[in-house]
Amino acid sequence: MATRVLDEADISRALSRIAHEILEREKGAEHLVLMGIPSRGVPLARRIAERIATIEPGADVPVGALDITMYRDDLRLKPARALEPTVVPPEGIDGRTVVLVDDVLFSGRSVRAALDALSELGRPRAVRLAVLVDRGHREFPIRADHVGKNVPTSLREQVRVRVAELDGLDEVVIGEDA
Amino acid sequence: MNRHLLSAADLTHDDAVLVLDTARELAAVSGRAVKKLPTLRGRTVVNLFFEDSTRTRISFEAAAKRLSADVINFSAKGSSVSKGESLKDTALTLQAMGADAVVIRHSASGAPHRLAHSGWISAAVVNAGDGTHEHPTQALLDAYTMREHLADGAGDLAGRRVTIVGDVLHSRVARSNVLLLHTLGAHVTLVAPPTLLPVGVATWPCEVSYDLDAPLPASDALMMLRVQRERMDAAFFPSEREYARRYGLDARRAALLPEHAIVMHPGPMNRGMEITAEVADGPRSVIVEQVTNGVSIRMAVLYLLLGGAEPA
């Protein structure tokens, strides 16, 4: 039994709010870089950058991708995985505020790996975290700066984010076999 | 993928494309300020070289170090092997030291297979060249180089025409390339004098020609093999000059290639023998690039064999 907790319109509104929050907190779009964590964080980061461009005319926020596979702490628990692309915008990340964008925040281990991966690409002025869904159950002292929706879950449940760019539709569903 | 990489034939089409795709992502690491990934921290990779090698050993060493593995270099010269130690006893020593992967080069064909399947060691075995048999990571880096130039760095090599020229008889590179390129969908033509073709070449998945000029206009990639004088115990051709005239690549022959074709050589080159300096240093030559790509390919192989609980 899977329940849809966010539909296309909900996701759209959440991303718009996150774009506003980022601009408010950073006092503009200057020196911002959005880095999506593959696979679904990357299209979400692109959409947030598009929203920022419509809110602040002339703002062109660079968007990149940050693959964390090689930095995961559970690599040896599973078979070796295929890598996803890492794309650093030509402007680089040194001295900029990097907003990491991911679909779901769960244990915090992916974010920990992302922070390690980021530190080898350069030295950002600050790193923020934006997620579409925070499902709780943190195992690390990590929290998100910008959250689309807090979704209380049990550990047995799965949270599945689908985005139109990769899955053909926008939705967030939750269930034991979502 | 299998637990070991002993032959290019061990790789399915999907395995081979996965290695090439992984190598492409890892190539970016070599361009960064911090050329290191933490992935194989705490793992030990032993380079077990019973035969001389410069680029392959350095390439495996660089690849393992960029993945943060500990590297132990073992060369037969100056080791107990020169006192007569057997492969088995050397293997048991490595096992006792806790090697997670053994990269082996040996002058005897089949030595890596023996090491992998004897039960002497539990490490993953990577063949870095065994006698006149196989050199699978060389074939992978060659396929990677071809894919970058001929297929925009994605997918396989379906329909591409590759001509491999020279001392096929003594070449482990040729055998591995024929097997892997066939897996990836390319058409391979071997060109060599009849004396330098191995017995049974008719059963290989490729065509064979004694004339170099004929296949050139349709070749997308041309690979020149080194004439391996150190393995030659008989006269395989009348003179070096005659070999160079009939099977060497000079500017006239290079001009017969299509505009987009690339010229490759696994190294080390005998300049003036199988390839002239003019062509080796010319604009079509990707020989230096092959060396660069070797590090990315070996990183990918080590990651896919050792990075997870089991190979990818």
- Whether A177 has a pLDDT exceeding 80, the answer reads no
- Whether A109 has a pLDDT exceeding 80, the answer reads yes
* B21, B26, B32 ranked by CB distance to A121: nearest: B32
Is A56 an interface residue toward B (CB < 8 Å)? no
- Whether A102 has a pLDDT exceeding 80, the answer reads yes
Q: In this predicted model, what pLDDT tens digit does every residue of B199-213 receive, in sequence order?
A: 999 999 999 999 999
Mean local confidence (pLDDT), B177-182: 98
CA separation for the pair B110, A90 (Å, rounded): 48
- Whether B187 has a pLDDT exceeding 80, the answer reads yes
- Predicted structure pTM score: 0.91
Element at B127 (helix H, strand E): strand B124-130
- Whether B142 has a pLDDT exceeding 80, the answer reads yes
pLDDT band at B84 (very low <50, low <70, confident <90, very high): confident
Output the CA torsion sign for B292, B296, B297, B298: positive
pLDDT of the residue at A58: 87
A44 with A162: CB under 8 angstroms?
Answer: no
Q: In this predicted model, what pLDDT tens digit does every residue of B56-80 receive, in sequence order?
A: 999 999 999 999 999 999 887 777 7
Residues 6+ apart with CB under 8 A from A127: A97, A98, A99, A100, A115, A118
Q: Which of A88, A84, A38 is nearest to A64 (CA)?
A: A88
Mean local confidence (pLDDT), B7-28: 96
Burial class (CB in 10 A: 0-12, 13-18, 19+), B258: exposed
Which CATH number describes the domain made up of A2-175? 3.40.50.2020
- Whether B231 has a pLDDT exceeding 80, the answer reads no
CA separation for the pair B128, B105 (Å, rounded): 5
pLDDT of the residue at B282: 95
Which among B15, B17, B32 is the top mutation candidate for probing chain A, defined by the most A β-carbons within 10 Å of its own β-carbon? Answer: B32
Residues 6+ apart with CB under 8 A from B104: B48, B49, B50, B111, B112, B115, B125, B126, B127, B128, B130
Mean local confidence (pLDDT), B170-199: 96
pLDDT band at B125 (very low <50, low <70, confident <90, very high): very high
Helix and strand numbers (H, E) in chain B are: 10, 9
What per-residue string of b and e applies to A49-68 under the rule 16 or more CB within 10 Å gives b? bebbeeeeeeeebbbbbbbb
**Domains along chain B with CATH numbers:** 8-135+291-306 (3.40.50.1370), 136-290 (3.40.50.1370)
pLDDT band at B274 (very low <50, low <70, confident <90, very high): very high
Which of A67-81, B132-146, B177-191 is predicted with the least confidence, judged by mean pLDDT? A67-81
- Whether A178 has a pLDDT exceeding 80, the answer reads no
pLDDT above 70 coverage of chain B, percent: 99
Order of strands across the sheet that contains B70-75:
B70-75, B44-49, B101-106, B124-130
pLDDT band at B3 (very low <50, low <70, confident <90, very high): very high
DSSP code at position A162:
E
Q: In this predicted model, what pLDDT tens digit does every residue of A19-56 receive, in sequence order?
A: 999 999 999 999 999 999 999 999 999 999 999 999 99
Which of B18-27, B165-174, B287-296, B301-310 is predicted with the least confidence, judged by mean pLDDT? B301-310
Mean local confidence (pLDDT), B109-114: 95
CA separation for the pair B120, B23 (Å, rounded): 30
B228 with B170: CB under 8 angstroms?
Answer: yes
Mean local confidence (pLDDT), B234-263: 92
pLDDT of the residue at A161: 96
- Whether B234 has a pLDDT exceeding 90, the answer reads no
- Chain B residue numbers with beta carbons less than 8 Å from the beta carbon of A121 are 32, 34
Is A90 an interface residue toward B (CB < 8 Å)? no
pLDDT of the residue at B233: 67
ipTM of the complex: 0.84
A120–B305 CB contact, under 8 Å: no
CA separation for the pair B205, B212 (Å, rounded): 19
> Which bin fits B23, alpha (ψ -120 to 50), beta or left (φ > 0)?
alpha
Distances (CA, A) of B36 to A55, A100, A117, B20, B305: 39, 22, 10, 19, 18
Q: How far is B29 from chain A (nearest CA, A)?
A: 10
Which of A66-70, A126-130, B92-96, B151-155 is predicted with the least confidence, judged by mean pLDDT? B92-96
Active-site annotation holds for B135: yes
* B25, B307, B308 ranked by CB distance to A67: nearest: B25
* R_g over Cα of chain A: 16
- Whether B83 has a pLDDT exceeding 90, the answer reads no
pLDDT of the residue at A2: 86
Q: How far is A75 from chain B (nearest CA, A)?
A: 5
Active-site annotation holds for B175: no
Active-site annotation holds for B55: yes
First vs last Cα of chain B: how many Å apart? 6
Active-site annotation holds for B245: no
Q: Which of B175, B180, B168, B182 is nearest to B274 (CA)?
A: B168
Q: In this predicted model, what pLDDT tens digit does every residue of B157-166 receive, in sequence order?
A: 999 999 999 9
Q: How far is B267 from chain A (nearest CA, A)?
A: 30
